[in-house]
Chain A
C-alpha cells in the first residue's frame, strides 16, 4: 500500500475529462480503454489448442 501510494498520489480531487455534458474521471476512462484493448485481444488472439482440435476433428484423430 505504501509503495502504491508512492507511485500514485491520490491526495487530490479526481482528474476529470469533460466533453459537453459528458464528464468522466480519468480512472474510469483508463478502465474503458483497457476494456477495448482486452476485447480486441480476445477477438484477435487464437485460443490455445483450438487449431489442433479443429484439425483433429477434420482428420478424425485425437488432438495432441
Chain B
C-alpha cells in the first residue's frame, strides 16, 4: 500500500461522515439564532441544564462522602441542601420550559424527536427524584418508601422496582437514572441544534409561503412545509 492509495471504508469513517452530515460545525456551535429565539421560555430551558449541572456536582460530592457526612456535619448539610434546592429549581424551570414548548407546538416541522426527548426527560426525572428521596437514610426516606411501595405494588412494578430496597434505589439514583437523564438532555440539545428552534406560528403557516416576501418582513416558510432556515439574528 502506498501513500496515494484511496483509504479503505471503515466503520469509524462512516460514523464520522454521518455525524458531520447530521451536525456540521456551523449547526453544532452556531454564532447566531433567529430573532424569535429571544424569549424567556428558552432561559428556562438553559436554567434546567444549569440546575442539572449543580445537581450532578453536588450529588457526586454527597455520594463520595456518604450518609454520616451529609446528616451529621455542617458542610454535609450545606451540600445536601444545595442538592435538594437544585432539584427543586430543575423541576421548576423544566416545567415552565415544557409548558411554553407545548403551547408553541414545538413538534412542528419534523421536530417530533426534539419534543419527545424533552418530555421523556421530565418523565424520567420523576423516578430519579423519588429514588433520591428514599435514599436519604432517615425517617423521611422510610416514610416515603413505605407510602410509595403501596402505589407501586398496586400497578404491579414492586417486584422489580422495590422502594424499600436501599441498595437497589441507591443504584438507580446515583447511576442508572442520572445516566438516562443526562443522555436524554444531551440528545435533546443536539436535536435542537440539528433541527433549529421551532419558528412562531406566523412564520410556519402555508398561506404565508405563497405570499411574496415583503421588505423587512419575516422569511416565508419553504413550500415543502419545512421551517425557514435559521438566519443569524440573535448573537450568542
Number of interface residues of A (CB under 8 A): 17
Q: Which of B25-44 contact A (CB under 8 A)?
A: 35, 38-41, 43-44
How many contacts A-B (CB < 8 Å)?
44
Among B38, B41, B92, which residue has its beta carbon within 8 angstroms of that of A43? B41
Q: Which of A11-36 contact B (CB under 8 A)?
A: 31, 34-35
Given A42-B40, A47-B40; A53-B216 close (CB under 8 Å): no
Could you tell me if B100 and A53 are in contact, using CB atoms closer than 8 angstroms? no
Q: Which of B4-45 contact A (CB under 8 A)?
A: 35, 38-41, 43-44
Q: Which of B193-236 contact A (CB under 8 A)?
A: 216, 233-234
Consensus secondary structure, chain B interface: helix
> Is there a chain A Cβ closer than 8 Å to B95's Cβ?
yes
> Which residues of the other chain, A, contact B234 by a CB distance below 8 angstroms?
50, 53
> Is there a chain B Cβ closer than 8 Å to A39's Cβ?
yes
Could you tell me if A42 and B216 are in contact, using CB atoms closer than 8 angstroms? no
Among A42, A47, A54, A57, which residue has its beta carbon within 8 angstroms of that of B100? A42
Could you tell me if B96 and A47 are in contact, using CB atoms closer than 8 angstroms? no
> Which residues of the other chain, A, contact B40 by a CB distance below 8 angstroms?
41-43, 45, 47
Number of interface residues of B (CB under 8 A): 17
A58 CA to B234 CA, complexed, in Å: 13
Closest to A34 in B: B92
Using a CB–CB cutoff of 8 Å, the interface residues on chain A facing chain B are 31, 34-35, 38-39, 41-43, 45, 47, 49-50, 53-54, 57-59
- Nearest first, the 4 closest Cβ-Cβ pairs linking A and B are A50-B38, A42-B40, A58-B216, A47-B38
Query: Can you list 18 A-B contacts with CB-CB less than 8 angstroms, sorted by A residue number?
Result: A31-B88, A35-B96, A35-B99, A38-B92, A42-B40, A42-B43, A43-B40, A43-B41, A43-B100, A47-B38, A50-B35, A50-B38, A53-B35, A53-B233, A54-B35, A54-B38, A54-B233, A59-B216
